[in-house]
Amino acid sequence: MATQEETFKKIVAHCKEYGFVFPSSEIYDGLGAVYDYGQNGVELKNNIKRYWWDSMTLLHQNIVGIDAAIFMHPTTWKASGHVDAFNDPLIDNRDSKKRYRADVLIEEQIAKYEEKIQKEVDKARKRFGDSFDEAMFRQTNARVIEHQQKRDALHERYSAAMNANDLDELKQIILDEEIVCPISGTRNWTDVRQFNLMFQTEMGSTADGAMKIYLRPETAQGIFVNFLNVQKTGRMKIPFGIAQIGKAFRNEIVARQFVFRMREFEQMEMQFFVRPGEELKWFEHWKAFRLKWHKALGLGDQKYRYHDHEKLAHYANAATDIEFQMPFGFKEVEGIHSRTNFDLSQHAKYSGKKIEYFDPELNQSYTPYVIETSIGVDRMFLSVMCGSYKEEQLEGGDVRVVLSLPPVLAPVKACIMPLVKKDGLPELAHKIMDELKFDFRVQYDEKDSIGKRYRRQDAIGTPFCITVDHDSLNDGCVTLRYRDTMEQDRVKIEDLHEIIRRATDAKELYRKIVGDKLEDTEE
Ligand code: GAP
């Protein structure tokens, strides 16, 4: 059995080999934590975006989309708090000259205690077999208790230091825990200091010098600054939402785990504007809705969990993450935040404009409260890849690598294959393709044996293979092969369209989320 680490390496290699993800500017040895999506990756990514966009703007009459610019007036970031507070705590090792996030070093130390506990548990399970009582073992085993106490004490000290923004204490924890630099192996650490994650550039040039501007670190602010524009021109009534998909940039210090933490990435964010006092009700609503959206894809309900935030940002009154079980543990894919009226109030203050909503039912004006749902496209992509990648042992010893992608997201929906390159079979295969190609992304493949062609499609997650043989010329039927079961059916050519539509139509997933109502945020 491959370890989780080995599996993850294989997924990364698979992404490259099959045209999903390439390192950016690879011929120049790449650029740290920046990636390009290849011919299959871009299709999968576009399908993820479509699934999200339609679930917001088609399912909800009261959610509209925008596409704001990446460059924004620099005061935006002063108002939002990013100039002063969008920081990570940094520490350098003087010997290796390597830079680390102090919080990450400590979190890794916490994870080490957890791993030690897990090792003890696994060992005991092997020893005791079926009669093993894990809960009892955790409560009574001396070594487990000791590791657990150390882990809890460290966690408590670390949370307190982060909450108090106490950089000296973070350094002291690193020293007390005897954390060493993985490169030099020494404890020769500098002090911890704050590092702002925003990329800066300059715009224009005037006699007084160019204007310093930032690449946006989140798309949300483009929505807030357009609140009045959209509300007035769209005659939107509260509650309503504004959705946006776009690039965001962060100068991440610790950029690791492939597309999980990138310096240039993409977000899908929706800000839902509500009456003050009603925000927690809507927070619960969106929390539930978003989890259903994830689960409807069928990657396995047990792979998701909520992680409620203990430490809230100063402007939030509730926050939770939706985490997915990656090969490197449960990790945040999406954040749902109750952001109060902080952002709109700040923009009103810094711009001097009145940013309020007149509520005709209450006959009063107020600054709306906001529930935000924020998901990274690239993390979603990674979760889908990790949840779909499988190596299956076949009879005869062969291994089949298959991506069991949710059909709605698969880059290619069907591949049409003439059994041989003659006797009129390619012509019929092309005819079938011409009938399908305007509604579905389909491929044509006539090279190599049918078995090899199936494997190529399995590796990119194509749900259907359609084989045209000599009988097809007479009976108007083809062989339809299903990716996941490898079963084959003889079906009529005229039925193909409906079979593929039913399996790949997002509408079927939306019904799983909201039933037949297809609308669930109207009051
Ligand atoms: N507007 C709120 C916001 O930006 P966040 O938790 O910082 O909140 C939201 O980011 C989502 O964006 C995360 O859940 C994650 O999916 C994605 N994300 C954040 N930083 C990322 C990075 N460096 N690389 C890839 N995705 C990232």
pLDDT in tens, 195-233: 999 999 999 876 677 889 999 999 999 999 999 999 999
Average pLDDT over residues 53-78: 97
Residue nearest to atom 22 of ligand 1 (CA): 261
Euclidean distance between the first and final Cα of the chain, in Å? 52
Q: How far apart are CA 180 and CA 499, in angstroms?
A: 58
Confirm or reject: Cβ of 290 under 6 Å from ligand 1.
no
Confirm or reject: Cβ of 88 under 6 Å from ligand 1.
no
pLDDT for residue 517: 63
Q: Where are the beta strands (DSSP E) in 21-92?
A: 21-23, 35-37, 63-66, 87-92
pLDDT in tens, 465-474: 999 999 999 9
318 shares a domain with 381? yes
pLDDT-above-90 percentage for the chain: 89
462 shares a domain with 378? no
pLDDT for residue 11: 98
Domain membership of residue 397 (yes or no) is no
150 shares a domain with 110? yes
pLDDT for residue 171: 97
153 shares a domain with 72? no
Domain membership of residue 216 (yes or no) is yes
Reading phi first (left if > 0) and then psi (alpha if -120 to 50, else beta), residue 324 is in beta
Of 2-6, 177-181, 397-401, 492-496, which gets the smallest average pLDDT? 2-6
Count of beta carbons in the 10 Å neighbourhood of residue 350: 14
Average pLDDT over residues 123-128: 92
263 shares a domain with 185? no
Q: What is the dihedral of CA 511, 513, 516, 520, to 10 degrees?
A: -150
Domain membership of residue 402 (yes or no) is no
260 shares a domain with 375? yes
Check residues 86 and 256 and name the one with the higher pLDDT: 86
414 shares a domain with 479? yes
pTM comes to 0.90
Ligand 1 nearest atom to the CA of residue 218, by list position: 4
Residue nearest to atom 25 of ligand 1 (CA): 261
Q: Which of 267, 307, 308 to mutate to test the pocket of ligand 1 (most atoms within 8 A of CB)?
A: 267
Confirm or reject: Cβ of 114 under 6 Å from ligand 1.
no
Domain membership of residue 31 (yes or no) is no
Residue nearest to atom 19 of ligand 1 (CA): 376
Average pLDDT over residues 329-349: 97
318 shares a domain with 259? yes
Ligand 1 nearest atom to the CA of residue 269, by list position: 1
Buried b (16+ CB within 10 A) or exposed e, 251-262: bbbeeebbbbbb
Instruction: Inform me whether the pLDDT recorded for 263 exceeds 80.
Output: yes
Local confidence band at 3 (pLDDT 50, 70, 90 cut-offs)? confident
How many domains are contained in the chain? 3
Give the residues across from 326 on adjacent strands.
329
Ligand 1 nearest atom to the CA of residue 219, by list position: 1
What's the CATH number where 476 sits?
3.40.50.800
Domain membership of residue 363 (yes or no) is yes
Count of beta carbons in the 10 Å neighbourhood of residue 178: 8
Strand, coil or helix: what is 401? strand
**284 C-alpha to center of ligand 1: Å?**
20
Average pLDDT over residues 373-400: 95
Local confidence band at 519 (pLDDT 50, 70, 90 cut-offs)? low
Q: Which of 329, 358, 390 is the last residue of a domain?
A: 390
Q: Which of 195, 220, 235 is the last residue of a domain?
A: 195
Ligand 1 nearest atom to the CA of residue 261, by list position: 24
Domain membership of residue 333 (yes or no) is yes
Average pLDDT over residues 382-392: 97
**376 C-alpha to center of ligand 1: Å?**
6
For 153-219, the DSSP string reads HHHHHHHHHHHTT-HHHHHHHHHHTT---TTT----B---EEEE---EEEE---TT-PEEEEB-S-S
Ligand 1 nearest atom to the CA of residue 377, by list position: 16
Q: Which of 195, 215, 235 is the last residue of a domain?
A: 195
480 shares a domain with 450? yes
Average model confidence (pLDDT) across the chain: 95
**440 C-alpha to center of ligand 1: Å?**
31
What's the CATH number where 151 sits?
3.30.40.230
pLDDT for residue 26: 96
Ligand 1 nearest atom to the CA of residue 267, by list position: 12
Q: Which of 312, 374, 380 to mutate to test the pocket of ligand 1 (most atoms within 8 A of CB)?
A: 374
Instruction: Inform me whether the pLDDT recorded for 523 exceeds 50.
Output: no
Domain membership of residue 399 (yes or no) is no
Confirm or reject: Cβ of 333 under 6 Å from ligand 1.
yes
pLDDT for residue 322: 98
Confirm or reject: Cβ of 335 under 6 Å from ligand 1.
yes
170 shares a domain with 94? yes
Of 1-10, 94-103, 138-147, 245-254, which gets the smallest average pLDDT? 1-10
**267 C-alpha to center of ligand 1: Å?**
7
Q: Which of 77, 379, 383 to mutate to test the pocket of ligand 1 (most atoms within 8 A of CB)?
A: 379
102 is in which domain, residue-wise?
Answer: 87-195
- Positive/negative CA dihedral, 142, 144, 145, 150: positive
Instruction: Inform me whether the pLDDT recorded for 348 exceeds 80.
Output: yes
Ligand 1 nearest atom to the CA of residue 379, by list position: 16
What's the CATH number where 381 sits?
3.30.930.10
499 shares a domain with 368? no
**307 C-alpha to center of ligand 1: Å?**
15
Tokens of 350: 């810094």
pLDDT for residue 310: 77
Domain membership of residue 28 (yes or no) is no
365 shares a domain with 279? yes
